[in-house]
């Protein structure tokens, strides 16, 4: 009975080989009795180590004649061309060198099958087919000629209508060009008039600026005259007041002098009377 007593988490097979030496491929040959190996506190005890030879399982081929035939038939049913890449895609993989001969064999088989399925048509039937084809061709030719004649008539009518429309368009174009020329002339006249109006506007603006400047000068002069008049009126008022004061003083002086003369005259008159 084999058992392991490990103090480490893992011991690899390489470590076992280094510790125990080569392991015989056949039990019983060159095999020593069980022993215990100690390495770095790791104890391994075994009875027998056997090496198993793993035999791989056989693989089933992907590309077979049946698979190639099914893929090619499916491509034909889908209306697609039978190509190496298309068949290989439907098969699901494999080698192109294996696919090519199988697909070539399938094509040869299809040719043989079609050749075997061909049926020989009797001569009377072929004669009837020829007559039917001739009749169909004659009818088709007559119908084509009739359609061609109708198409030619329609083309002539369309050409006449197109020429008429072209004449109308030319006349309309001439009218439009005349209107355009008149509009251009009117535009030029309006442009000239606008230029004249702009010149008048600029002149009016200049004159208005001059008038505004003159008005401002007149306003300043009026203000100066008003100030001068106010000062003159103030001086006149002061002069008038002074004149009134002087008149009052003179009147008072005259009254005083008269009173004085009157006082001096009264004693003389009294002495004369005595």
- Give mean pLDDT in consecutive 10-residue pieces for the chain, a chain of 274 residues: 40 44 46 45 44 51 86 89 89 86 91 69 80 90 91 92 92 92 93 91 89 89 90 89 88 83 64 51
Does the residue 247 lie in any domain? no
Does the residue 69 lie in any domain? yes
Overall domain count for the chain:
2
Does the residue 254 lie in any domain? no
Does the residue 93 lie in any domain? yes
Point out which residues pair with 45 in neighbouring strands. Answer: 3, 36
Determine the Cα–Cα distance for residues 117 and 256; give it in Å rounded to an integer. Answer: 178
pLDDT attached to residue 188: 93
DSSP code string of 98-126? HHHHHHHHHHHHHHHHHHHH--PPPHHHH
The residue to which tokens 């251009």 are assigned: 184
pLDDT attached to residue 265: 62
Does the residue 86 lie in any domain? yes
Does the residue 37 lie in any domain? yes
Which residues have CB under 8 Å from 43's CB, separation 6+? 4, 5, 6, 7, 36, 37
**Helices 96-117 and 84-91, packing angle to 10 deg:** 110
Does the residue 35 lie in any domain? yes
Q: How far is CA 129 from CA 79, 121, 133, 144, 267, in A?
A: 30, 10, 6, 22, 192
Does the residue 163 lie in any domain? no
Host domain of residue 21: 3-45
- 80 and 40 fall within a common domain: no
């Amino acid at each position: 009975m084999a058992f392991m007593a490990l103090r480490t988490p893992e011991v690899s097979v390489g470590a076992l080989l280094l510790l125990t030496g080569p392991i015989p491929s056949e039990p019983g040959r060159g095999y020593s009795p069980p022993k215990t190996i100690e390495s770095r506190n790791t104890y391994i005890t075994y009875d027998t180590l056997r090496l198993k030879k793993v035999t791989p399982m056989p693989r089933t081929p992907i590309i077979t004649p049946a698979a190639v035939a099914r893929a090619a038939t499916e491509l034909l049913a889908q209306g697609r061309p039978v190509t190496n890449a298309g068949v290989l895609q439907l098969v699901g993989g494999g080698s192109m060198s294996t696919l090519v001969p199988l697909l070539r064999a399938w094509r040869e088989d299809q040719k043989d099958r079609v050749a075997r399925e061909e049926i020989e048509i009797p001569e009377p039937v072929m004669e009837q087919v020829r007559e039917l084809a001739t009749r169909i061709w004659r009818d088709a030719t007559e119908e084509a000629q009739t359609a061609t004649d109708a198409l030619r008539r329609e083309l002539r009518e369309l050409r006449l209508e197109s020429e008429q429309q072209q004449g109308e368009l030319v006349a309309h174009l001439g009218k439009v060009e005349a209107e355009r020329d008149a509009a251009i002339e009117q535009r030029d006249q309006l442009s000239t008039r606008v230029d004249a109006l702009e010149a008048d506007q600029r002149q009016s603006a200049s004159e208005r600026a001059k008038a505004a400047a003159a008005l401002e000068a007149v306003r300043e002069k009026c203000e100066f005259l008003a100030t001068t008049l106010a000062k003159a009126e103030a001086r006149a008022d002061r002069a008038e007041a002074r004149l009134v004061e002087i008149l009052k003083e003179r009147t008072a002086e005259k009254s005083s002098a008269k009173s004085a003369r009157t006082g001096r005259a009264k004693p003389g008159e009294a002495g004369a009377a005595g």
